[in-house]
Amino acid sequence: MPAANRLAVHQSLVHPRDALELTEALPGTGWHSVGLHVGGAAEVEPWWHGGAGERNLARLVALLLETRVTVLDVGRVQLGADLPRDDVHAAHGRVLDLGARFGARYVTARLLTPDRARGADVFARLAEQARPYRLVPLLAPVPADRPDLVEDAVAVVAPSGGGVVLDVPVGSGTPEGVEAVVDALGDALGYVRLSARQVAAAGEAAAGLLATLPPHVPVALGGDDSAGSLDGDLRARLAELHGRVDALLEHPRARARRLAARG
């Protein structure tokens, strides 16, 4: 049974391949969306800055329309002690601008200050600046197996109506644990992120891990530290990983029905 959740592949999974190559590879693999790294890291600057960036912007917008691939999120914004406006699009303003041009739903941010109150304030500034671009800010990463960090993240994002990217460990997490943290987050849950390496290594033992994840919550597959995880035939690897993620989302009742239908 195909998963109802929107499924995305982060660009970090295929690095150093660019967003155009990833988008071109998605149709027919079961994946619907991409997550794009457009700021906050030196390796993405040649793709989105200046003249080359303008060409890549036009090419990617056209390719998204041709392939019917959508953009789940753009990232990332580094949140320190303050966040002055960036109307000339030199830093985080460029992330917001590109996110709007690509039709993204979310913009991800990383909090650099350990102070919860100051973090909530600077995150609220990002939410205010992102609103005209119709982007919802998400704090990332928030590990599902760290209740203390989940609580801290909710305290930061809740006052401004933002959310979090929930990193779910595939090898050690349980369906009950995932359900509990998803319930605790409520509307503060933006989307769930999975490590491609963990998904590939877990096998059948992880089936049903996300069985009770609400269908409106997207699931994104990412690489670790933009190191890239896929080589060889990109389409074939993406299709294989889609099957594994679909198994994580399959409810045990759906699995039993599918197996019974095979006879």
- CATH number of the domain that 130 lies in? 3.20.20.150
Q: What is the pLDDT of residue 31?
A: 96
How far apart are the C-alpha atoms of 60 and 98, rounded to whole Å?
11
Nearest to 175 by CA among 215, 213, 202: 213
CB atoms within 10 A of CB 222: 24
Q: What is the pLDDT of residue 162?
A: 95
Residue 40: how many CA atoms within 13 Å on its side-chain side? 22
Is 2 part of any domain?
no
Q: What is the pLDDT of residue 195?
A: 92
* Owner of token pair 């490590």: 195
Is 182 part of any domain?
yes
Q: What is the pLDDT of residue 204?
A: 79
Q: What is the pLDDT of residue 224?
A: 66
Q: Across the chain, which distance is largest between two alpha carbons, in Å?
A: 63
Is 250 part of any domain?
yes
Buried b (16+ CB within 10 A) or exposed e, 61-99: eeebeeeebbbbbbbbbbbeeebeebeeeeebbbbbbbb
Q: What is the pLDDT of residue 226?
A: 47
Cα dist from 68 to 10, 23, 28, 34, 105, whole Å: 17, 9, 11, 11, 15
pLDDT in tens, the chain (263 residues): 345 899 999 988 888 888 999 999 999 999 999 999 888 777 777 778 765 567 888 999 999 999 999 999 999 899 988 898 887 777 899 899 999 999 999 999 999 988 889 999 999 999 999 999 999 999 998 999 999 999 999 999 999 999 999 999 998 889 999 999 999 999 999 999 999 999 988 877 788 999 999 999 999 999 765 455 677 789 999 999 999 999 999 988 887 787 778 86
Is 73 part of any domain?
yes
Is 1 part of any domain?
no
Domain that holds residue 20: 7-261
Q: What is the pLDDT of residue 253?
A: 85
What's the total number of domains in the chain? 1
